[in-house]
Amino acid sequence: MRITVLGHAGLYVEAANERILIDPVLRDTPLGHGSLVFYPGRRLKPDAVPSPTLLVISHAHWDHFDLESLERLPRDVPVVAPNEASVLAGLRRLGFARVTALESWQSHVHGGVKLTATPSAGDITEMGVLLESEGTRFWDMVDAEVGPEVGERILAEHGRVHLVAAKYQPQGKLQVQLLWGLGTSFDKRDVARSLEAASVVQPQFVFPYACGLAFQGMHAWMNKQIFPFTQPQVVRLLRARLPQARAEQLRPGDVLEHRDGNVTLHAQASPFVRHEEARYDQDWEPLDSTSLDDPLTEPEADDARREVEALLAGPFARWLRAHFATAGYLRAFIEYRVVWQLVVHLGPGRRLAYALDFRAPRLALLKGLHEDANYFVHVSGRGLTRSIRRPEISGDLFNLCGDLRLFEKVLGVADGHFFVPPVAGKELLVSLPDPLTLFFRQAPASVPDVATPAHEARA
């Protein structure tokens, strides 16, 4: 079996002399009325894509059921789709007559390939796709919402799945919440359940997939709001969960091959699609950073940098070590394997960043952005320096004066399974109080020696 990555959710699968197209988008023009582009970027030669012997549509969403792309295909190609009215009606309107509609767990045999529709607990009718051919099994989870019980049934009824395209991003629900004014927190259990489902089928090779778009133009602001996980982050989580398997990030044009029990990744081997460099800022930051970017002058910024680093390396570090040694207030940070990220805003485009990795046996303050950060504290530089200079009145001023923002995506691997904290929302943040805010509340007397006298003279 050979699987060519087409980008976003599209796949081209070759097995037993069959050519299977799954959720194809056979154009590089923007999607969604021009608001979305492929990311990672790609360059596709639509006329060079071999004509399929089977077309698979997973559900009705336009980024999977692209009518413009389907118009390019011969109408006599057999189609497998979920038993969902809008998909079936759309296929009929386009002239596809050989359509097989599947319910969850139903199978269809096409030549030497068996296709099984795996279920979804989502609020639309959709399916994942399990392909079996010549001793190879491949599970494309697509957008289906599943938990480990689905993976366990696949394992019991079909056997080990060699290759898995794992759903990992909750962007659909986050986008709805954002646009409906419900905030940008999300239920991490959905992500953990999906990744655990991908893991329990004992894959040889697993890759995060089916979220390969970015917003552009006037909609680009959403990129930092609704994509909490990056593919590299998920790959590291999968490697921790599946140390005997191979987990990788795949790009459009990569070809994955399973033959005689062995998996080979042929990077950029496709003759009709290839990866093309593109850059869209999808580093998750669900806040309006301009509300923290009170510009500091160069001298003020220099003073702020010195004072913040003196605070973090001195009194804050001593306080942390004392509590880390006895767990105390930091017990939940250790238990939930938190990687704390502090970002200090000094003005537009000017930031300081520091991290604490509570997974490590010894706690150390790290400079810069941590690739595995899952608990984020963004603070106004002016507000933080005010607190350093007047710590006796600073206990709750971060929050009361709007100088601080918190958001989190705490999800990890422990004892051989994906896990999330047992509480969420406000209850979680109460059990995980921001260390910097807590420090100012508990140890204000240790702060004054780090302030910059020269600044006071200039003021």
The whole-number average pLDDT for the span 281-310 is 92
pTM across the whole model: 0.93
Assign domain 289-458 to its CATH superfamily: SCP2 sterol-binding domain (3.30.1050.10)
Tell me the three state secondary structure of residue 171.
helix
Q: Identity (one letter) of the amino acid at 15? A: A
User: Tens of pLDDT along 397-444?
Assistant: 666 678 899 999 999 999 999 999 999 988 998 899 999 988 888 876
CATH classification code of 2-275: 3.60.15.10
The whole-number average pLDDT for the span 22-42 is 95
d(CA 295, CA 305): 14
Would you state the pLDDT for residue 11?
99
Tell me the three state secondary structure of residue 416.
coil
The whole-number average pLDDT for the span 39-60 is 97
- Contact call for residues 163 and 254 (beta carbons, < 8 A): no
User: Tens of pLDDT along 351-380?
Assistant: 999 999 999 988 899 999 999 999 999 999
Over 90: is that where the pLDDT of 285 sits?
Answer: yes
Would you state the pLDDT for residue 260?
95
Confidence of residue 381 (pLDDT cuts 50, 70, 90): very high
Beta strands in 45-106 (DSSP E): 54-56, 79-82, 99-102
Element at 380 (helix H, strand E): strand 375-380
Confidence of residue 452 (pLDDT cuts 50, 70, 90): low
Domain definitions of the chain by residue range:
2-275, 289-458
Confidence of residue 455 (pLDDT cuts 50, 70, 90): very low
The three-state (H, E, C) secondary structure of 320-350, written as one string: HHHHHHHCHHHHHHHHCCCEEEEEEEEECCE
Look over the chain and give the mean of its residue pLDDT values, rounded to a whole number: 93
Instruction: Classify residue 305 by its DSSP letter.
Output: H
Confidence of residue 386 (pLDDT cuts 50, 70, 90): confident
Report the C-alpha dihedral over residues 451, 453, 458, 459, rounded to 10 degrees.
50
Would you state the pLDDT for residue 387?
85
Share of the chain above pLDDT 90, in %: 80
User: Tens of pLDDT along 137-192?
Assistant: 999 999 999 999 999 999 999 999 999 999 999 998 899 888 898 888 899 999 99
User: Tens of pLDDT along 231-271?
Assistant: 999 999 999 999 999 999 999 999 999 999 999 999 999 99
